Chain A
């Protein structure tokens, strides 16, 4: 039997506001427990929520970034359930009328084919607190600092057909939310959390199979592994005559498996109803226009512009626009360096390798964009060769100063004085009379390869500083005439 996988994702993105969605508490990460839990976040008797404008603006920004309809009127509802990290006994969310309606994003698959994935909706809600299971004499500790942090829950259509597609979609959403500055995208800190709805069906069957919901996945790698494990599990189960039950499963990254979360006796009954403490959220055209006017350039548009403006290949443009920080870096370096393609090679080559090797974020690169641009400028103006530039870069990375300082300190300035190069050429030719003889007698086809020998000798003699182009020209003049 041929099986087809069907995947939909629900992604919770923490919005990068200063204060919480319904209270004036800070949303900062990592402070001592319950020091950012106000009366409202604690669900004290008598407290009331007031909605944060910036959270709404961010939700609208996302909606407009994915071409979605932004609801003129949306409603906050209460999702009722008991859990210690949920102080009020309900989560304020949006149910029937979300702020962002249907939209879509495009993902590029491994074979280069573009696929459109539908976004069903995105709605605003509040985050819960955290349960700490360290040992408090067999008790669990509750920290409500995170309670009330604004979330935008982005729900996709069940449009993905493989773990790879799901990862491509998740990365795309990650790219969009970080590009438009509504989420810091920090997965370790839980700013971007994924749930995957996974089912399988015989190829050709129209109806969906029964799905399992994989909860709280916080890396793209785990997303891929969790889905793959779950797909295998479901197929094996069905092929062994079993049936998939609709349930919530947890991915255990240590064991690389998914396991059922204790099925509670009662099915979840969240008893949603409109929150009477909040009024309908009305968003008018002026509000939307204001958000759109402040919208940063979106990744797809930027990629197209990079190809157009800088003459980059699709691949290069893709890589360089993968994150807003990288694209910003590249543009700043290109502006300084002058040769956009050469700068692109440096960013994707030497810089990317160094970042990767040392595990450094582009934002923390010890070689700033302008400094890299200056280095490329020194290649362009023949101050140094490309080869020497790599040594200069290494020195810059090590904190030895900018390109000019390193070149100066190490005496790496290229020899471009014709007289000096002539002297080098003549010395090398004199010392290798036999090879000169061979060259002159050789078939013209074989000569270019033989020329390399002399170039190598001259470069060695100049400690790499002779301008290779001039060396080549002079050599030919001497040998071919």
Chain B
């Protein structure tokens, strides 16, 4: 298993991480090593095994439909990187 620099670039983009060309090579090698480790799973037959998403066999608990949260905008935005008139600012979103 080996990841090409192109594959590394594609994954990095999906994860919104910037990678240099040097990163691509090094990451490709590291990721390939990890995938080799992961490939050990292929040795076991898992046909008919139910996937385990969760350690405990519990069902989702439901909450009452009540408004319990008030306006804490000032507090929650106190350390935000860019805020104006209560809005979080980001570079222009083009649709």
Contacts and interface: CB of A to CB of B under 8 A. Distances in A.
A and B touch in the complex (CB under 8 A): yes
Interface of A: 17-19, 23-26, 32-39, 42, 44, 50-56, 75-76, 82, 84, 131-133, 136, 138-144, 250, 261-262, 266, 269, 271, 274, 276, 278-282
B90 A54 contact: no
Contacts of B42: none
Secondary structure dominating the interface of B = loop
Contact of B68 (A19, A141, A266, A271): A19
B53 interface: yes
B19 to A, nearest CB: 15
B90 A140 contact: yes
Contacts of A271: 14
Interface in B37-95: 53-54, 56, 58-69, 71-73, 76-77, 82, 84-95
Interface size class of B (residues with CB under 8 A): 35 or more
Contacts of B92: 133, 138-140
A282 B60 CA distance: 7
B65 A19 contact: yes
Contacts, number: 125
Nearest to A77: B53
B90 A25 contact: no
A334 B13 CA distance: 64
A282 B90 contact: no
A76 to B, nearest CB: 8
Contacts of B56: 279
B86 A35 contact: yes
Contacts of A39: 76
A136 B14 contact: no
A53 B64 CA distance: 6
A42 B76 contact: yes
Given A32-B86, A33-B85, A276-B53, A84 B93 contact: yes
B69 A24 contact: yes
Contacts of A33: 85-87
Given A82-B16, A142-B88, A52 B65 contact: yes
B58 A84 contact: no
A4 to B, nearest CB: 31
Contacts of B87: 33-34, 132, 136, 141-143
Nearest to A36: B71
Nearest to B93: A140
B50 to A, nearest CB: 12
Given A24-B69, A51-B61, A279-B60, 6 more contacts: A34-B76, A34-B77, A50-B61, A82-B16, A140-B89, A143-B87
Contacts of B59: 279-282
Contacts of A24: 63, 66-69
A278 B68 CA distance: 20
B13 to A, nearest CB: 6
Given A34-B73, A52-B65, A282-B60, A250 B16 contact: no
A281 B61 CA distance: 8
A136 B90 CA distance: 9
17 contacts: A24-B67, A36-B69, A53-B62, A54-B64, A56-B62, A84-B90, A136-B87, A140-B91, A141-B89, A142-B87, A250-B95, A266-B13, A266-B14, A276-B53, A276-B54, A279-B60, A279-B61
B65 A53 contact: yes
A131 B88 CA distance: 9
| Closest 3 pairs (CB-CB, A-B) | A141-B87, A24-B68, A54-B65
A141 B63 CA distance: 31
A142 B85 CA distance: 10
Nearest to B14: A269
A467 B10 CA distance: 86
